[in-house]
Amino acid sequence: MEQTIHFKLNSRPVTVTTDGERALLWVLRTDLGLTGSKFGCGQNQCGACTVIINKETVRSCQYPVKNVAGKEVITIEGLALNGKLHPLQKAFIKCGAIQCGFCTPGMILQSYGLLLKNARPSPAQIVAHMDQNLCRCGAHTRIIEAIQKAAAELKGGKA
Amino acid sequence: METQSELLDRREFVKILGPGLYFLFSLDNFLLGQQPGGRMGGYPTDLNAYLRIAEDGHVTCYAGKVELGQGVTASLAQMLAEELEVPFDSVSIVLGDTMLCPWDGGTNGSRSIKYLGPVMRAAGAEAREVLIQMAAEILKLPPDRLIAKEGAVFEKNNPANKVTYGSLARGRTIERHLDEKPRLKSPSEFVVCGKSLPRADFQDKVTGKAQFAGDVRLPQILYGKVLRPPVHGAKLKNVDLTAAKEVKEAVVLQDNDFIGVVHPLPDMAEKVLARIKAEYELPQLKVDDRNIHQHIENAAARDNVVEQKGDLAQGNKLAVLKFEESYATPYVAHAAIETHSAIADVKRDKATVYIGTQRPFGVGEEIGRAIDLQSKQIRVIAPYVGGGFGGKSQVGQAVQAARLSKMTGFPVQVVWTREEEFFYDTFQPAAVVKISSGLDESNRIVFWDYHVFFAGDRSAQNIYSVPNLRTMSRGMGFGGDGPHPFSTGAWRGPGSNTNIFARESHIDVMAAKAGLDPLEFRIMNLKDERMLRVVRAAADKFGWKPAKAPSGRGQGMVCLDYLGTYVAAMAQIKVDKSSGGIRVERIVHAQDMGPVINPDGARMQIEGGITMGLGYCLSEEIHFKGGQVNDLGFDSYQIPKFSWVPQIETVLVENFEIEPSGCGEPPIVGIGALIANALFDATGVRMHRLPLTPERIKEESS
């Protein structure tokens, strides 16, 4: 059913009028032109579409867009503030935690969600939190390293 | 003949390169300089095909490769900058565009640095020498009193007297060429190569700006989906399009059994497709994942002699210990996280297609056949590719997009669902290897009779010193007809994943029977000094202590030669005795690929290859019945996760004696045998078939 949905996207208010049952991922990628969130499986299995909704990590590929009404959504495009990269983004670059880069937006937002809750996660906690985000190129060890590095920088108040 | 310039839309051209800077040179010359010859006969020889120097000194490097995560964005630019004598950060790279870039055979086989590298370096070296000549005329000095450095030509004794490259080239074609091509630097002279310089694509990949084929948007874009049969080989009997046609804004298209829908929204296109009711006639095939290896062994095909020496019968007589074993590997999916994606804009006499492909120059013909255009009328652009591993060599999705675009007159984007990705994948072929061999009294291999069935002969060649041997390969490795119920294709390290699993497992079988430590047994039977050096490098780093297997410790090793790159790896694993599950704790990997262009990039490729390899080793296998693929998602088809990944230590074995060789595939091809050997060491269970699932390990040990 067509409905008008108001929400906050990357700190800006947006309004979309569309079928509220549509997946948030496609509304972001098509209607709103933000292609940073990726389609990897559409089955909640890979995490390439991960976004932050009200400080929680959410798989946007199966999340009905009507459910974001009144909420705050962050996508990969909204992570850098005023052109300044977030410590996670910097750490991913620095550690070479990227190969093809397709899973990267989901990886960064999944770890962003972790750091919101746990400012200094142990490697085991990182692994547990990231385990359902898939990377086929095998950048895993460096992604763990990057998350630790970013956590250290955020903790040090340099962000 | 139509020239490339006739295909060029000037506005598009400006959009790509940015205005202002690039119109200082002749457009026609630019394009003509790049294309001719390339498509037909290998890399073009004109240096202008590979580089352009703008008036401000900025260098654009052109290559027909694509960036799929392997890091050519940095390494190719490094090789050009090295010989051209310009700072690395003054070089940007344009990849994978058939109109702008010189021909290339495809991004596969770990060949970018090995084969395009020397060409790129030669172009840079020739340009540098020509620029020195041009500077000599301006400065009125003999060339031998000049030196090129940091993007300028200087008088050796008076560095203030100089001319910049930018002022010499001014963005134009470099008309002058050298009859005698300049010498390339030796690795010991490298300044830019050999450094871990950053990849320019990282910045856009952490902000979401980087565009993959599914992210490209053209005006009036429509999204397409094409009806897929439930099983391979099914024939469409009846189709009812009524319900699909009822959807507002949707267009349903049919051309015989090609049935597609387009819609202004991608998710809606999928929903419309689901409203089509179709009936199929299903083929009855008896082959499935349980009997496939018997089927493969029985399939008829040509036997090719890969290598042969000595006398097998003679070797057999000398043997005191004899072995006969059979090894098997299943169908394995590529499963890149980016599914096959393309957007095609087909006009009456030309087409532009953005594709996530490994072969921008190879796919025009296939697409052209589907839309009645010649490949030269089709401009293919490969934006960033979200993982390929061999799977992005096929372009079924682009053919679908092109057909739908031609039928509608609008640009159409097709992004495969995960189910389509699994269904249409060109799997690594299931294959079998049979080996008989023997050891003499002093535990030297005296004969080796090796038969591989339908994996191909890559890495089938024996690396040990064996006086009497025969290596045979039956049928094609991938592609072709073969005994397979669906398409097969190149999968990272094609053929070698099977061949090395078989050979390196078998070496350990012999070592165990001989009562020797696997490392000691290998060293005894290897004569190749370069291989021995790599093996020792791995052993030193690992801290290998000799013990005959099974020692209960869970340590294993392999060594191998993949197209000239040498690898030795050692692993420590732990086996959960009750579940049979394997936990890989540590892998040490030593690799000699000649001079390393970008060490950190090489380490990333090695870590990636090892990690990906754990998948085909521990869990990945396509289950099927006839043409029906039963694994269509990551729920049943498990690829490596964070919790699987061991500590990985890489040793780059320095070697300036050879030319730079491939990096990205060699690390993956030994993983099957590496872990199987460690499993034997831990438990005494020898696995002859991948993957090493807990169920299969339990089965084999009882």
> Both B479 and B508 in a single domain?
yes
Do B478 and B499 sit in the same domain of this protein?
yes
* Cβ <8 Å between A39 and B217: no
Number of domains in chain B: 3
Asked if residue B167 and residue B41 are part of one domain, the reply reads: yes
Residues A68 and A110 in one domain: no
The total number of structural domains in chain A stands at 2
Q: DSSP states of B349-387 as a string?
A: S-EEEEE--S-TTTSHHHHHHHHT--GGGEEEE--B-S-
- Residue B256 counted as domain residue: yes
Residues B447 and B402 in one domain: no
Structural domain includes residue B638? yes
The answer to whether the CB atoms of B609 and A128 lie below 8 A apart is no
Phi, psi of B506 (to 5 degrees): -65, -35
Asked whether residue B647 is domain-assigned, the answer is yes
Inform me whether the C-beta atom of residue B612 falls under 8 Å from chain A C-beta atoms.
Answer: yes
Q: What percent of chain A has pLDDT over 90?
A: 94
Cα B577 from Cα B163, distance rounded (Å): 72
* A3: helix, strand or coil: strand
Give the span between the Cα atoms of B72 and B92, in whole angstroms. Answer: 12
Asked if B384's CB is within 8 angstroms of A100's CB, the reply is yes
Mean pLDDT score, B585-602: 98
Same-domain status, A72 and A104 = no
Contact: B387, A99; criterion CB under 8 Å: yes
- Whether B683 and B667 map to the same domain: the answer is yes
Tell me: do A51 and A7 sit in the same domain.
yes
Q: Do A96 and A143 share a structural domain?
A: yes
Task: Residue A12: give its domain's CATH number.
Answer: 3.10.20.30
Q: Residues 3-32, chain A: which have Cβ within 8 Å of B?
A: 22-23, 26, 29-31
Out of B415, B441, B462, a domain closes at B415
Instruction: Tell if the CB–CB gap between B417 and A42 is shorter than 8 Å.
Output: yes
Q: Say if residue B107 is in the same domain as residue B65.
A: yes
Q: Which domain holds residue B409?
A: 213-282+340-415
Which tens digits make up the pLDDT trace of B185-243?
Answer: 999 999 999 999 999 999 999 999 999 999 999 999 999 999 999 999 999 999 999 99
Residue B287 belongs to a domain: no
Tokens 């002093």 locate to B442
**Residue B136 shares a structural domain with residue B186:** yes
Q: Give the pLDDT confidence of B241-271 residue by residue, as tens digits.
A: 999 999 999 999 999 999 999 999 999 999 9
Please indicate, yes or no, whether residues A97 and A57 belong to a single structural domain of this protein.
Answer: no
A17 and A71 in a single domain? The answer is: yes
pLDDT tens for B492-519 read 999 999 999 999 999 999 999 999 999 9
User: What are the C-alpha distances in Å from B459 to residues B191, B462, B562?
Assistant: 34, 8, 6
Query: Which residues of chain B neighbour A111 with C-beta distances below 8 Å?
Result: none
Q: Does residue B538 register a pLDDT over 50? A: yes
| pLDDT exceeds cutoff 90 at B319 | yes
- In tens, the pLDDT along A3-32 reads 999 999 999 999 999 999 999 999 999 999
Of B70, B223, B639, the CB nearest to A136: B639
pLDDT at residue B449 above 50? yes
Q: Using CA atoms, how far apart are residues B402 and B641, in angstroms rounded to an integer?
A: 36
B405 with B346, same domain: the answer is: yes
Query: Cα dist. B647→A142, B372, B523, B570, B650 in Å?
Result: 11, 53, 26, 12, 10
pLDDT at position B579 over 90: no
Low-confidence ranges of chain A (pLDDT < 70): 157-159
In-domain check, residue B309: yes
- Rounded CA gap, B329 and B690, in Å? 5
Same domain, yes or no, for B490 and B348?
no
Query: Is B659 an interface residue toward A (CB < 8 Å)?
Result: no
| Same domain? A65 vs A114 | no
In a shared domain, residues A149 and A112: yes
Same domain, A54 and A98: no
CATH number at residue A92: 1.10.150.120
A39 vs B415: CB contact, 8 Å cut-off?
yes
- Mutation pick from A26, A51, A102 vs chain B, by most beta carbons of B within 10 Å, is A102
Instruction: Give the nearest partner residue to A136 out of B337, B418, B642, using CB atoms.
Output: B337
Asked whether residue A42 falls in the same domain as residue A95, the answer is: no
Judgement on whether residues B181 and B123 belong to the same structural domain of the protein: yes
Confidence of residue B8 (pLDDT cuts 50, 70, 90): very low
Residue B195 maps to which CATH number? 3.30.365.10
Distance CA(B11)–CA(B695), nearest Å, equals: 60
* A47 and A25 both lie in a single domain: yes
Q: Domain boundary residue among A78, A105, A139?
A: A78
State the residue range of the domain holding A128: 87-155
Query: B-contacting residues of A 81-120, CB under 8 Å?
Result: 85, 89, 92-93, 96, 98-105, 108
- Specify if B421 maps to a domain: no
Name the domain boundary from B189, B207, B225. B207
User: Could you tell me if residue B43 is inside a domain?
Assistant: yes
Whether residues B418 and A85 touch (CB distance < 8 A) is answered with no
Asked if residue B437 belongs to a domain, the reply is yes
Any CB–CB contact under 8 A between A64 and chain B?
no
CB contact under 8 A, B267 and A22: yes
Q: How many CB atoms lie within 10 A of CB B240?
A: 12
B434 and B502 together in one domain = yes
The number of beta carbons lying within 10 Å of the beta carbon of residue A127 is: 19
